[in-house]
Structure 1
């Protein structure tokens, strides 16, 4: 049965808006960690994306009693043996900004001819009765040498998806939602709800 409210284990306004746009037509309202400002943060200390997503979903399901959705996303760069991967949000340090993470990535790739990479998202969803599900979405592409575009967040200004000549930060949010790693994982999740 499709829920009316789903808890999204995120305080990232970009991610909340992105997912709300996708789920709104289904009549699903998102609650998020922004609705619980006093709650402790769930430490993302698992060795892989699956583990981090499940840990967050389990924590918030227990705390709120609502069906809970959590994701973890990593940018995996071939020339860096899959880095930054599970540490993508903290690549340049624990409190790193998007800018600092992108700067470090571009420095690490200086002189590299192989710039192929992929964004990978794993979504964990725990339904109203506690059943756990995992959904994966992958978007392949490459890292360019300098930032382009004003939209998006994170590594979007330097990631060009395969088959495109613009970065995630240059294409429309509708197009990004359609082709992105998170969009693909969410589409699999939506199939579960139907």
Structure 2
């Protein structure tokens, strides 16, 4: 069970996992009436991911998986990082968040950055395992591309031939993205553990 109400994130995670495990029925919080979405009060990605996965597992009695991810920019001392969704205000649309970042990075200087994703996998008995991966890259000079979501239009992955994450096809993105990498680790664990 994917512990999120974010449809775009849930869709991406379901797509990645269902290709590897076509036998699984992958549900989201939207499939469970009254399922809570707890406040992310943790001070780290693992803490926030675990808050969500453990809440969902307790409510549904199912294996639950949740992630917390952020964009970390070296020149901004790792910001927006853990607060990527709330950067500039939670209600500020992502085009305006990206414009703010580009303004902060104006002029000469490093544009190195990475997407970091942490996934918490919680069993029906409440045991939680944490996985983490990054996608290294840089911040583009301007937004590009119509794919993906969030900060994808301004992030240039190292392995994408100068294209932003939003310029990539879904398959290309899933192969190199932070979320694709960490879900591959989750899949390896489930297979090795004998859960699947």
> Please, what TM-score do these two structures have when normalized by structure 1?
0.92
Aligned equivalent of 1:77, options 73, 78, 84 = 73
State the 1:107 CA deviation: 1.7
Name 1:86's counterpart in structure 2: 82
Aligned equivalent of 1:47, options 43, 46, 56 = 43
Structure 2: which 5+ residue stretches go unaligned? 192-196
State the 1:37 CA deviation: 5.5
1:94-173 equivalent positions in 2, closer than 5 A: 94-164=90-160, 165-173=162-170
Count matched residues.
188
Matched, 1:23 2:20: no
Q: Aligned in 2, Cα 1:173/1:69: closer, same or farther, shift over 3 Å?
A: same
Name 1:4's counterpart in structure 2: none
Structure 1 contact 149–170 (Cα < 8 Å) conserved? yes
Structure 1: which 5+ residue stretches go unaligned? 1-6
Q: Which runs of 4+ in 1 moved over 6 A?
A: none
Q: Partners of 2:43 and 2:71 in 1: how far apart?
A: 15
Q: Aligned in 2, Cα 1:131/1:40: closer, same or farther, shift over 3 Å?
A: closer
Structure 1 contact 20–29 (Cα < 8 Å) conserved? no
Structure 1 contact 89–96 (Cα < 8 Å) conserved? no
Which of the two has greater strand per residue? 1
Name 1:190's counterpart in structure 2: 187
> Please, what TM-score do these two structures have when normalized by structure 2?
0.91
Q: Partners of 1:105 and 1:43 in 2: how far apart?
A: 25
Aligned equivalent of 2:62, options 63, 66, 85 = 66
Q: Partners of 1:118 and 1:170 in 2: how far apart?
A: 17
1:134-188 CA-partner distances (Å, limit 9, x unpaired): 1111000000121100000000000010132100101111111010001110000
